[in-house]
Structure 1
Amino acid sequence: MSNLLVELFVEELPPKALHKLGQAFSTTLFDTLKAQGLIAADSVVTAYASPRRLAAHITQVAAKAVDKAVAQKLMPVSVGLDADGNATPALQKKLAALGADVSVVNQLKREHDGKTDVLFLDLTVAGATLTNGLQKALDEAIAKLPIPKVMTYQLQDGWSNVNFVRPAHGLVALHGNEVIPINTLGLSASNQTLGHRFEAAQNPIVLRDADSYALQLQEDGAVIPGFNERKAEIARQLERAAAKLDLRPIEDEALLDEVTALVERPNVLVGQFEEEFLAVPQECLILTMKANQKYFPLLDAQGKLTNKFLIVSNITPANPSAVIGGNERVVRPRLSDAKFFFEQDRKKTLESRIPGLAKVVYHNKLGSQGERIARVSAIANLVATALGDQALAAQASQAAQLAKADLVTDMVGEFPELQGIMGRYYAQHEGLSDDIAYAIEDHYRPRFAGDELPRNRVGLVVALADKLETLVGMFSIGEKPTGEKDPFALRRHAIGILRILTDGGINLELDTLLQQALSVFHHAFDHAAVLQALEEFIFDRLAGNLRDQGYSAQEVDSVLALKPQLIADIQQRLAAVHAFAALNEAPSLAAANKRVGNILKKSESTIEQHINPALLQEDAEKALAQALAQVQPQAQQAFVAGDYTGSLKTLAALKVPVDAFFDGVMVNADDPALKANRLSLLATLHQAMNQVADLSRLAA
């Protein structure tokens, strides 16, 4: 056993994919070697990934796997042996293929496989050698790399082409200090690699052994090969540089990952720009610095952008002024562009831009963005009107009409990520109220799990209208999510609607909202089918969301089985069911409820919830009717008051009379009048028990 090091040295890898490439490369190598029995049970793999290398270090790798004794299945006895017990030609051919001959016929085992007797031959299979096993593992690791885009390049022989993410120039394969003779991408393994392009103390670096890889790269090659180690070093340097200025760097995990994938040995430097650019909204400046230059903007204690930023350089010169100056010169035109866009955009009002949306295609079956905002505005008006607030309706309509106007501004054209944000700035510049301005920015919220809701009621209404329009529109033209594919983010829109209805104080029923949204679409489609599909889709999202919050599948199913349309009440219903399930009487009542439901389903006649006291003959049915007469009003009163827990807890008093009823009363009596009356009693019981939730779903 020795430790193994495999490195593939390439030209600069795509930075946004580097971390995944490094993990996939090392994991596949490890798993394939493990499957061949070449590594120990407690072996550990360490992944390395830098801009120009993918590598893996694996502990306790064998030069050869242990030989294995296996029972090789041959063929049915009837096929392999003739009537005299001699090998048939078919068996002789099979044995020859396995390196045996007819002399082993008497050593063959016979086992029944469930259908017939089968012949087996005991063999010793030689364990894989590391050379062969590693070649297989490397081929598989390269084949399975999650490469975003493959490129084709020519090898040095001038004839052969290979396909890979970037041209590969070196391969290292060391088992201890021995080179394993493997090949890939036209390369043969060696013990040499290259360090930093400019700052390596020596190039090439001759690796002493597998374990000295990271240390030699750092000391001789000026490279930190580990992705996580390099990322941690960048984070430390960013915090240290910012702290010296009493500032803090912007937090952006994706940017930190990308910069980690761009440098081999990080060196954080401080740059600055003219303060006049701070007149531009800070979101614009932050985005242009992050997206275009990969800088880390610096914020003050109040979270306000300053004119200083941090550069993560890949070189460490004695005098960094040239590097800093070069970066400052590069960022200045970017900031100037943002300033120009901002100043030009403010020369036109948002309202004057609305006609331009008619030229922007939303979907070829749903028209332009202009048509879309007309629908969103109409839905927002309907929602606010249903809430009984005409002032809100007027504001929501106006905000909805202006919500997409910034899509045709220069700033959003350059930086689509700023849509909504720029609309808010331009609305404030025009003197529109904060209710309208913040609604324009917030109508995209919530954009992801855990995102904040819109800041005001106008924003909540417009956000709800926007998401309803998207869902209804896409479902109406058959654009439903399938499997993992959801190109229009409809699942996210559904969850956003649920968040707004649950936490936003919009107490309107879901089916009412969906029908309002359906009413503004005038192309031909099956309204009833779309309404049903949308309800199922939204309730599926809700069920998954509630289970993720810790509620049991039974509790969630019991509440959602009733399809409660007031989404804001569902949490209370769940809490009530959870409390009811903890009662001693709950299992018995849930089982009884399930039995009642099954009896009522089988009834062929119409059942009325009208109990005739004169037809109550058995003591048990009289007791149940009497208990129902007491419990039902109490449960109903608590239900109407919104006390769902209290409503369900009153049902505990029904356990004894319900159990006694099923023990002593025959529901399907010969007398039709008695049977009908008993079914009415059960229907009344069923209705009383299932107002908050379908309790039968709690039955084991």
Structure 2
Amino acid sequence: MSAKNLLVELFVEELPPKALKKLGESFAAVLADSLKAQGLAPADAVVTPFASPRRLAVHLSAVAAKAADRALQQKLMPVAVALDAAGQPTPALLKKLAAVGADASAVAQLKRAMDGKAEALFLDSVVPGATLAQGLQKALDETLAKLPIPKVMSYQLADGWTDVKFVRPAHRLVALHGADVVPVTALGLEAGRTTLGHRFEARSATIELTDADAYATQLREQGAVIASFDERRAEIQRQLQAAAAPLGLQPIDAPELLDEVTALVEQPQVLSCQFEPEFLAVPQECLILTMKANQKYFPLLDAQGKLTHRFLVVSNIRPADASAVIQGNERVVRPRLADAKFFFDQDRKKTLAERVPGLAKVVYHGKLGTQGERTERVRAIAHAIVNLLRMATVPYTVDAKDEFEVLDSKVQQAALLAKADLLTDMVGEFPELQGIMGAYYARHEGLRDGVAIAIEDHYKPRFAGDALPRNHTGTVVALADKLETLVGLFGIGQLPTGDKDPFALRRHALGVIRILVEKNLPLDLPALIQAALPAFGELITDPGEALLTFFADRLAVSLRDQGYSAQEVDAVLGLNPVRLGDVPRRLEAVRSFAALPEAASLAAANKRVANILKKIEGTLPTAIDAALLKEPAEQALAAAIEQVQPQADALFEQHDYAGSLKALAQLKAPVDAFFDGVMVNADDAALRANRQALLNRLHAAMNRVADLARLAA
């Protein structure tokens, strides 16, 4: 029988919108993979997922009615065990044959072949291919078991006795192979060809699907449903742009909101609404968040990115007169905006400084005390960071009028007030606004703008790709805040495990890394960790070693994600650089060096040198006696090092890492000649030690920028 296209749909009650996209993708992918694995669908079969608020479905091309039979060779047992001295089958062989569904008559068809050092018996058989009904039943069972269901609910079937557990109650199952129904079951349902369309807009109560290929068309035309999640999302996006364009405005860019709204509607219609302009006196972040989070509306922004009093609604119905829908949404949003205005007005009646004592009543962690105690630790760490910047060997320049004493004053004020907005009504309602609201309230009180910015920015970067703190004060407080979290939690043994990271320590570590690297701060990571320890007193044990390893792992992952090769990353991080701001320049230098014609030979030689030095017991020899340089090749290498090393070191000290490595490329010829003509492990102990000292100096000279041995293939 020729292959036909397959359609499987599970019709359910409204699915959780935030999970719908993943549920739809998983339903299609797992079911298709299972059919492919069973030989019922080709590897290149086209998989089309569908997901709407009330359905999960998949269309799969070229599915066979029956999988092809396949040959199977089974090893039974060694000949010495299977046959007796007369060549007759032993009871053990007969028992094995029975276990695999054969009898004594199969003995004559058994094949002998070597299996390792012994000869064994093998049984050739043909395994019948699965029918589509069998294979699809297996695929459905696997698919439902593997769905990423956020929360399972239990419900009873129509018989009143049978319990079923699923994400939502399921009511219909469709399975069509071409125009034929495939007899499978799932969740107490038997497959058919009937489905339902839109609750209110469908042309008929039920839809009889003619065949698998008609699914999307029939749902659209008869059921008023755009079944494809991606098509529905694209249609909503198109309508949003079309509705905003005549107003000269732009919908807010919110991919997660767009996904959620796509999961809430089956036949979208975008409508334009508005609210009273006086609400715009409230910070726009508050209004945007309440419209997005509570109402699933799309706020409209002007060309400067400023919120306007207009917003867009995605309706699930298309009435001839949409005025009632528009008015209803405008009426619903007003109380939400009024609440935001009330919170904003009430919060401003009390200063941030007046709220600080209240942090002593907010528990941060059972072993680390309250938010008030945490605030004092952040202030102490921030003060230590300012001192490290003041004493940096590479001068750290602050604004012309912003000396370190002034910077420390600002840092202390910002760190003191940074967590105060946690006690405001607005942040209590919208935790996502912490820091942002603190900045608004700080400006309202007339605090220095630099302090207000630092209060907002001390959480940055909040996520991958987020902006960094904008000023010196925010940079210091952000580092202090993240270090307090990392040092404190590592210090009490609260480390991330697997995919569990309840305190977002990986994100905090990446935040520290990004600040140090992208702002090129002259701060050593180990010194930063040690500077944070005194703030904790006896609360924690020193987590320095574990924390440095954690940072190294996060940095390596981040660099590989940025496109650097594993070899490049290993070469640079193999030296455990303490100043992370140097890492990008070192990586670029290594990449430039690797492109030189001398690179491969020098990397291999460097690896050879490292292996020789590793085998030396005790202290490595360092003193080179010129009188013991007997061979011309070792004399030439020593002379080359004397000439090249000062050049490379001078460039290194100027942070010209690429230039430093390029200078070292001059050593290729003398290094090659040395290994071709000199025996390092000479019988004479003095000669041997002198040559080892020469290699030790070579190794030290070549590995200041990176561990070049790790570039060797």
TM-score tier by shorter-chain length is: over 0.9
Please name the residue that 1:576 is paired with.
Answer: 589
Please name the residue that 1:425 is paired with.
Answer: 440
Mapping for residues 200-599 of structure 1, pairs under 5 Å: 200-388=202-390, 389-527=404-542, 530-599=543-612
Please name the residue that 2:401 is paired with.
Answer: none
Q: State which drifts further: 84-93 or 1-10.
A: 84-93
**Cα separation, 2, equivalents of 1:231 and 1:181:** 33
**Cα separation, 1, equivalents of 2:102 and 2:615:** 69
Q: State which drifts further: 313-322 or 79-88.
A: 79-88
Q: CA, structure 1 residues 637+108, in 2 after alignment: closer, same or farther (shift >3 Å)?
A: closer
AA matched with 1:418 = L
Please point out which of 643, 652, 655 is paired with 1:630.
643
Q: CA, structure 1 residues 505+77, in 2 after alignment: closer, same or farther (shift >3 Å)?
A: closer
Q: CA deviation at 1:318?
A: 1.4
Q: CA deviation at 1:624?
A: 3.0
AA matched with 1:392 = L
Deviation string for 1:470-522 (max 9, x for gaps)?
A: 11111111112222222222122111111111122422222221111122121
Q: CA, structure 1 residues 373+220, in 2 after alignment: closer, same or farther (shift >3 Å)?
A: same
Contact 1:381 1:394 in 2 (8 A): no
Secondary structure class of the residue paired with 1:306: strand
Q: CA deviation at 1:105?
A: 2.5
Secondary structure class of the residue paired with 1:481: coil
AA matched with 1:134 = L
**Cα separation, 2, equivalents of 1:421 and 1:61:** 55
AA matched with 2:309 = N
Q: State which drifts further: 29-38 or 293-302.
A: 29-38
**Cα separation, 2, equivalents of 1:26 and 1:110:** 45
Q: CA, structure 1 residues 681+239, in 2 after alignment: closer, same or farther (shift >3 Å)?
A: same
Q: State which drifts further: 573-582 or 245-254.
A: 573-582
Please name the residue that 2:702 is paired with.
Answer: 689
**Cα separation, 1, equivalents of 2:628 and 2:77:** 75
Secondary structure class of the residue paired with 2:535: coil
Q: CA deviation at 1:615?
A: 4.2
Q: CA deviation at 1:550?
A: 2.8
Q: CA deviation at 1:90?
A: 4.4
Secondary structure class of the residue paired with 2:536: coil
Structure 2, unaligned runs of 5 or more:
391-403
Q: CA deviation at 1:96?
A: 4.9
Deviation string for 1:367-409 (max 9, x for gaps)?
A: 1111111111111112122222221111111111111111111
**Cα separation, 1, equivalents of 2:618 and 2:81:** 65
Q: State which drifts further: 609-618 or 463-472.
A: 609-618
Contact 2:40 2:67 in 1 (8 A): yes
Q: State which drifts further: 403-412 or 534-543.
A: 534-543
AA matched with 1:428 = R
Q: CA deviation at 1:115?
A: 5.1
Q: CA, structure 1 residues 540+85, in 2 after alignment: closer, same or farther (shift >3 Å)?
A: same
1:170 has 2:172 as partner: yes
Deviation string for 1:215-263 (max 9, x for gaps)?
A: 1111111111111111111111111111122211111010011011111
1:52 has 2:69 as partner: no
**Cα separation, 1, equivalents of 2:98 and 2:627:** 91
Please name the residue that 1:9 is paired with.
Answer: 11
TM-score (normalised: structure 1): 0.95
Root-mean-square deviation over aligned CA pairs? 2.1
AA matched with 1:367 = G
Contact 1:446 1:452 in 2 (8 A): yes
Q: CA, structure 1 residues 625+66, in 2 after alignment: closer, same or farther (shift >3 Å)?
A: closer
Please name the residue that 1:658 is paired with.
Answer: 671
Q: State which drifts further: 91-100 or 312-321.
A: 91-100
Q: CA, structure 1 residues 124+18, in 2 after alignment: closer, same or farther (shift >3 Å)?
A: same
**Cα separation, 1, equivalents of 2:695 and 2:281:** 73
Q: State which drifts further: 156-165 or 587-596.
A: 587-596
Q: CA deviation at 1:343?
A: 0.4
**Cα separation, 2, equivalents of 1:91 and 1:628:** 74
TM-score (normalised: structure 2): 0.94
Please name the residue that 1:179 is paired with.
Answer: 181
AA matched with 2:637 = L
Please name the residue that 2:398 is paired with.
Answer: none
AA matched with 1:351 = A
Q: CA, structure 1 residues 674+37, in 2 after alignment: closer, same or farther (shift >3 Å)?
A: closer
**Cα separation, 1, equivalents of 2:53 and 2:699:** 67
Q: CA deviation at 1:54?
A: 0.8
Q: CA, structure 1 residues 600+97, in 2 after alignment: closer, same or farther (shift >3 Å)?
A: closer
Please name the residue that 1:110 is paired with.
Answer: 112
Q: CA, structure 1 residues 242+114, in 2 after alignment: closer, same or farther (shift >3 Å)?
A: same
Please name the residue that 1:603 is paired with.
Answer: 616
Secondary structure class of the residue paired with 2:465: coil
Q: CA deviation at 1:20?
A: 0.9
After the TM superposition, list the runs of 4 or more consecutive aligned residues in structure 1 that deviate by more than 6 angstroms. none
Please name the residue that 1:138 is paired with.
Answer: 140
Q: CA deviation at 1:79?
A: 4.0
Q: CA deviation at 1:590?
A: 2.8
Secondary structure class of the residue paired with 2:175: strand
Deviation string for 1:624-683 (max 9, x for gaps)?
A: 333332222222222222222222222233333333344444445555554444443333
Q: Aligned residues: percent identity?
A: 68
Contact 2:368 2:539 in 1 (8 A): no
**Cα separation, 1, equivalents of 2:523 and 2:385:** 8
Q: State which drifts further: 604-613 or 462-471.
A: 604-613
Q: CA deviation at 1:100?
A: 4.4
Secondary structure class of the residue paired with 2:500: coil
**Cα separation, 2, equivalents of 1:17 and 1:430:** 42
Please name the residue that 1:26 is paired with.
Answer: 28
Please name the residue that 1:642 is paired with.
Answer: 655
**Cα separation, 1, equivalents of 2:244 and 2:530:** 54
**Cα separation, 2, equivalents of 1:484 and 1:437:** 35
Contact 1:2 1:175 in 2 (8 A): yes
Q: CA, structure 1 residues 664+550, in 2 after alignment: closer, same or farther (shift >3 Å)?
A: same
Contact 1:10 1:166 in 2 (8 A): yes
**Cα separation, 1, equivalents of 2:89 and 2:520:** 83
Give the number of aligned pairs.
698
Contact 1:110 1:120 in 2 (8 A): yes
Please name the residue that 2:693 is paired with.
Answer: 680
Contact 2:621 2:693 in 1 (8 A): yes
AA matched with 1:595 = R
**Cα separation, 1, equivalents of 2:482 and 2:433:** 19
Contact 2:492 2:541 in 1 (8 A): no
